[in-house]
C-alpha cells in the first residue's frame, strides 16, 4: 500500500530505479520518525508504545496561551494543586493527572502556556515536542473568551496537526460581564472543531467538555483540508504540500508543509535526503514569500494567522459596552502610573507587612503565653523531670512552635501574596518596577519571582523560567535567594519584631533590599549583556477569587504543617537526646569561636544555625526547645537577636532552595551562590555585632 503511493514506480525503469532509492531513504525516514515517534502516524502500535498507554484511557493535553485558566481546569479535573495566579508563565514543564468520569478514564496533561508552537522558544518547543511525541488522543485548546483574536492564532496552528481537538472558550463568566457575546455555532463551523463555553473557576462547561472529549477521541479531524491562511500564503503552503505529501502518508501534511517553510531543521534534513528537488522548491517558495512581504517567514506566517483569527472573531464575536470596565481601567492606570504606581506599591507592601506583623504577633504571643503556662503542669506529671522536659521540648514543643510561632505570621502572608497574584497586581508591580530593576541590570519581569520569593524561594526560583534569556534567569534566581522567605519572616517578626521592635524589622528588610540591589548590580556587571526590554502580557485586573486565594494559601501553609512538624519532631527527639545526655555544651563549645567569638551570640546559637539549613524557621522554633522557654528575651539580648536574625536571613539558601538552584542553574553556580551567601552572612553578622556593641 505504501509503494502504490509512489507514482514513479509505475513509470520507466529509470524512474523505477529512482523510486527504489526514494523508498529505501524513505524507510530510513520512517524508522527515524518511528524511533522518535515524531510527527508521523506510522502505526498505532508505535504511538501506543511511545507513552505506555493504558487501554481504554483517553489521553488529553491542555494547550493554550499563557494565563487562560489551563491549570485551573487541570486542578478541577484531577484534584491536583498546580500553581494558579493572574500572571503569564506560571506552569513550567508538563504536569499529568488522572480522573474517571461516567466510567471513562482520562489522563490529562497541563502544558506551559504558549502563543505559538513554531519557534525554538523554550515553551513553544516544549509544547510542540510533547504533542509530537506523546500524540495525545485529544487536544483541549483552552482560549480566553476576552481575547479571542490573540488566542485563536494558536488554535489555527494546532488544528493543522490534525489531532482530534476541542476549543474550550474559557473565562466566560468574565467575558459576559465585559459584554462579550460569542456565536459558538458559527465559531464551530468556521474552525471545524467542537467549541465549548467554560468557566474553569466555577466548573461551568467541564462535564460537557469531558463528554465531547470522549466523543471525538480516536476520530480524525475532518474538514481541515485547506490552510487557514490568506490566499497568497495558502497557495504557497499548498504548493509545498503537494510536493511533499507522498512522503508522509497518513500524516498532517499541512502542518509538515508549514514546518518546512518555517525551516524546521529535522524535517528539512529528512526532505533533503529523500527528495532534494522538493527541498529546493520549499527554499524557493520561502524566499519568494520573504521577498514579497519583506519579513522573515516565521513573522509572515504568524501575522497571517493573527489576521485569520481576527477575521473569524469579526464574524462571531459581538461586544456591547459595559459600565464596569472604566473603573478597572482607572485602577490599572493608577497602579501602573510612574509616580502613583510606586507610591501605591509602597503603601500596599508597607501596610501588608504591618498588618501581617500586628495580626501575627497578637496571635503568636497569646498562644505562646498559654503554651508556656502549661509546661510546669506537664513536667510535673513525670517523676523524672528530665524525661518530662525531653518530651515537652522534643515532641510537643515542635508541634506547638509551628502552630504558635510560624502559622500566625505565615497564613496572613500567604493570603496577601495570593491576593496580589490572583488580582493581576503582581504583573503591574513588575511593570512599575521595570525601570528600577533595569538600573540593577535586571528585567522588570524578575519582580514577579522576587516578590513570590517572600513566600518561598523554591517556586520563586522555578518561576524565574519566565525570564527570556539565561543571563536574566541566573541574575533573577540569584536575587530570589536573597529574599527573606516566609520561614525567615517568621524569625524576623517572631524574634526581632516581638522582642526588639518593629523599627528593627523595617531596618532588616531595608538592609536586605539594599544588599540585594548592590549584589545583583555587581553580578550583572560580571554578565555585561544587556537585559531585554519588558515584553510581558498584562493580565486583566480581576477581583481575586476567594476559592483560589484560600486554596493557594492553604497549599503553601500545608507544606509547613506537613513537612515542618514531622521534621521538627525528629530533630526535637535528637535534640532532646543531646540535651538528656548533656552533649549540647560540647557541640556548642566546638562552634563557639564563630558563634560567640565572632558573632557575639549565645553558644546555643550554633546548633540552631546548623539545623536551620534544613528549614529557616527551625532556628526560631528550636530556640524554644534549646532555651526551654518561648520567652526569648530571657535568653538573648536585643543586639544578639538582631545579629542572629541577620545571619539567619542571609546565611544560606535552605536545603530545598539549594536543590532547586542546582536544578535551575547547575551545581557550579548553585555552589557559588551558596558559598557567597554563607561568607557574606558571617562577615556582615560579625560587623553588625561590633557596630551594635559600639552604638550600645
Ligand atoms: N473569572 C475567572 N477567572 C479564571 C477562570 N479560569 C481561570 N481564571 C483565573 O485566571 C488566572 C490564570 O489561571 P491559570 O489556571 O493559572 O492559567 P494558566 O493558563 O494555567 O496559566 P500559565 O500556566 O501561566 O500559562 C487565575 O487568576 C485564575 O484565577 C474562569 O473561568 N473565570
Ligand atoms: Mg498553568
Q: What percent of the chain has pLDDT over 90?
A: 39
Q: What is the pLDDT of residue 289?
A: 94
CB atoms within 10 A of CB 455: 24
Q: Is 199 in the pocket of ligand 1 (CB under 6 A)?
A: yes
Assess whether the C-beta atom of 465 lies below 6 angstroms from ligand 1.
no
Pull the grid cell for residue 197: 463555553
Residue 443: pLDDT band with limits 50, 70, 90: confident
Q: For 198-227, what is the mean pLDDT?
A: 85
Look at ligand 1, atom 9, and give the residue with the nearest C-alpha.
Answer: 69
Q: What is the spatial distance between Cα 587 and Cα 557, in angstroms, rounded to a whole number? A: 32
In this structure, of 249-263, 453-467, 519-533, 599-613, the range with the lowest mean pLDDT score is 519-533
548 CB within 6 A, ligand 1 = yes
Tens of pLDDT, residue by residue over 313-332, are 999 999 886 655 568 788 88
Whether ligand 1 lies within 6 angstroms of the CB of 643 is answered as: no
- Contact indicator for 564, 170 with CB cutoff of 8 Å: no
**Cα–Cα distance for residue pair 31/25, rounded to 1 Å:** 10
DSSP of 567-610:
HHHHHHHHHHHHHHTT-HHHHHHHHHIIIIIIT---TTHHHHHH
What's 545's DSSP letter? P
Task: State the average pLDDT over residues 668-672.
Answer: 93
Contact 200 CB / ligand 1 (< 6 Å) = yes
629: closest CA among 380, 371, 379, 409?
Answer: 371
Instruction: Sort 396 into a burial class: Cβ within 10 Å, 0-12 / 13-18 / 19+.
Output: middle
Q: Give 19-59 pLDDT, tens digit per residue.
A: 322 333 333 333 333 333 333 333 333 333 444 678 889 99
Say how many Å lie between the CA of residue 433 and the centre of ligand 1.
24
Q: How far apart are CA 353 and CA 335, in angstroms?
A: 19
Q: How far is the C-alpha of 426 from the C-alpha of 415, rounded, in Å?
A: 14
CA distances from 52 to 34, 57, 140 (A): 15, 11, 21
pLDDT band at 10 (very low <50, low <70, confident <90, very high): very low
> Cβ–Cβ contacts within 10 Å for residue 11, how many?
12
Predicted local confidence at residue 17, as pLDDT: 34
Q: Of the candidates 410, 369, 363, 362, which has an alpha carbon nearest to the alpha carbon of residue 616?
A: 410
Higher pLDDT, 511 or 458: 511
101-104 long-range Cβ contacts below 8 angstroms, 24+ apart: 101/207, 101/210, 102/210, 102/211, 102/214, 104/56, 104/58, 104/210, 104/214
Q: What is the mean pLDDT of residues 192-217?
A: 94
Q: How far is the C-alpha of 560 from the C-alpha of 344, rounded, in Å?
A: 31
Count of CB atoms situated within 10 Å of the CB of 203: 13
Q: Which of 293, 220, 228 is nearest to 258 (CA)?
A: 228
Per residue in 348-381, pLDDT (tens digit) is 988 887 888 788 878 877 887 888 788 888 888 8
Calculate mean pLDDT across residues 308-312.
94
Does residue 478 surpass a pLDDT of 60?
yes
18's grid cell: 529512482
Q: Residue 530 has what pLDDT?
A: 61
| Per-residue pLDDT tens digits for 86-95 | 878 788 888 8
Amino acid at each position: 500500500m505504501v509503494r502504490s503511493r509512489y507514482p514513479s514506480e509505475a513509470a520507466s525503469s529509470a524512474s523505477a530505479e529512482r523510486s527504489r532509492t526514494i523508498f529505501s531513504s524513505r524507510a530510513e525516514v520512517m524508522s527515524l520518525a518511528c524511533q522518535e515517534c515524531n510527527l508521523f502516524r506510522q502505526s498505532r502500535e508505535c504511538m501506543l508504545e511511545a507513552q505506555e498507554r493504558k487501554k481504554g484511557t483517553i489521553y488529553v493535553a491542555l494547550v493554550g496561551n499563557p494565563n487562560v485558566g489551563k491549570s485551573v481546569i487541570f486542578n478541577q479535573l484531577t484534584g491536583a494543586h498546580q500553581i494558579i495566579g493572574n500572571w503569564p508563565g506560571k506552569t513550567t514543564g508538563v504536569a499529568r493527572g488522572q480522573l474517571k468520569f461516567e466510567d471513562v478514564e482520562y489522563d490529562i496533561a497541563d502544558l506551559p502556556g504558549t502563543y505559538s508552537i513554531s519557534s525554538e522558544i523554550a515553551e513553544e518547543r516544549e509544547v510542540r515536542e510533547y504533542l509530537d511525541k506523546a500524540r495525545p488522543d485529544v487536544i483541549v485548546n483552552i482560549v480566553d473568551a476576552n481575547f479571542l483574536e490573540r488566542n485563536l492564532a494558536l488554535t489555527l496552528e494546532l488544528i493543522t496537526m490534525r489531532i482530534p481537538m476541542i476549543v474550550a472558550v474559557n473565562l466566560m463568566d468574565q467575558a459576559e460581564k465585559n459584554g462579550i457575546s460569542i456565536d459558538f455555532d458559527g465559531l464551530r463551523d468556521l474552525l471545524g472543531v467542537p467549541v465549548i463555553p467554560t468557566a474553569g473557576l466555577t466548573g461551568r462547561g467541564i462535564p460537557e467538555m469531558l463528554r465531547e472529549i470522549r466523543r471525538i477521541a480516536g476520530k480524525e479531524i475532518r474538514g481541515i483540508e485547506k490552510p487557514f491562511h490568506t490566499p497568497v500564503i495558502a497557495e504557497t503552503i499548498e504548493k509545498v504540500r503537494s510536493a511533499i505529501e507522498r512522503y508522509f502518508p497518513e500524516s498532517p501534511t499541512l502542518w509538515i508543509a508549514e514546518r518546512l517553510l518555517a525551516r524546521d531543521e529535522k524535517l528539512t534534513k529528512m526532505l533533503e535526503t529523500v527528495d532534494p528537488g522538493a527541498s529546493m522548491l520549499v527554499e524557493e517558495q520561502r524566499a519568494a514569500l520573504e521577498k514579497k512581504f519583506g519579513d522573515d517567514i516565521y513573522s509572515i506566517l504568524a501575522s497571517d494567522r493573527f489576521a485569520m483569527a481576527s477575521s473569524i472573531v469579526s464574524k462571531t464575536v459581538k461586544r456591547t459596552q459595559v459600565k464596569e470596565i472604566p473603573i478597572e481601567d482607572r485602577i490599572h492606570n493608577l497602579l501602573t502610573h510612574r509616580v502613583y504606581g510606586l507610591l501605591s506599591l509602597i503603601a500596599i507592601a508597607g501596610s501588608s507587612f504591618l498588618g501581617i506583623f500586628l495580626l501575627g504577633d497578637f496571635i503568636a504571643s497569646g498562644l505562646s503565653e498559654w503554651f508556656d503556662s502549661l509546661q510546669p503542669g506537664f513536667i510535673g506529671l513525670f517523676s523524672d523531670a528530665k524525661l518530662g522536659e525531653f518530651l515537652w521540648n522534643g515532641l510537643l514543643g515542635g508541634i506547638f512552635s509551628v502552630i504558635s510561632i510560624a502559622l500566625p505570621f505565615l497564613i496572613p502572608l500567604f493570603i496577601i501574596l495570593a491576593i496580589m497574584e490572583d488580582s493581576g497586581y503582581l504583573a503591574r508591580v513588575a511593570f512599575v518596577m521595570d525601570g528600577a530593576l533595569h538600573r540593577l541590570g535586571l528585567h522588570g519581569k524578575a519582580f514577579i519571582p522576587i516578590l513570590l520569593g517572600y513566600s518561598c524561594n523554591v517556586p520563586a526560583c522555578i518561576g524565574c523560567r519566565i525570564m527570556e534569556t539565561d543571563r536574566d534567569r541566573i541574575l533573577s534566581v540569584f536575587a530570589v535567594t536573597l529574599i527573606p522567605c516566609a520561614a525567615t519572616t517568621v524569625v524576623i517578626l517572631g524574634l526581632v519584631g516581638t522582642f526588639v521592635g518593629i523599627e528593627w524589622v523595617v531596618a532588616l528588610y531595608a538592609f536586605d533590599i539594599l544588599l540585594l540591589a548592590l549584589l545583583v548590580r555587581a553580578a550583572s556587571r560580571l554578565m555585561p549583556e544587556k537585559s531585554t526590554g519588558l515584553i510581558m502580557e498584562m493580565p486583566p485586573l480581576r477581583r481575586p477569587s476567594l476559592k483560589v486565594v484560600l486554596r493557594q494559601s492553604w497549599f503553601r501553609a500545608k507544606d509547613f504543617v506537613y513537612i515542618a512538624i514531622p521534621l521538627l519532631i525528629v530533630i526535637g527527639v535528637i535534640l532532646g537526646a543531646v540535651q538528656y545526655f548533656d552533649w549540647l555544651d560540647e557541640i556548642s563549645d566546638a562552634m563557639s569561636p564563630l558563634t560567640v567569638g565572632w558573632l557575639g551570640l549565645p553558644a546555643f546559637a550554633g546548633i540552631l544555625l546548623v539545623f536551620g539549613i534544613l528549614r529557616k524557621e527551625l532556628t526560631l522554633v528550636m530556640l524554644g526547645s534549646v532555651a526551654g522557654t518561648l520567652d526569648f528575651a530571657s535568653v538573648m539580648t536585643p543586639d544578639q537577636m538582631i545579629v542572629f536574625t541577620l545571619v539567619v536571613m542571609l546565611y544560606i539558601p535552605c536545603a530545598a532552595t539549594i536543590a532547586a538552584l542546582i536544578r535551575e542553574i547547575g551545581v557550579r553556580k548553585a555552589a557559588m551562590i551558596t558559598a557567597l551567601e554563607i561568607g557574606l552572612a558571617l562577615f556582615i553578622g560579625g560587623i553588625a555585632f561590633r557596630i551594635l556593641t559600639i552604638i550600645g
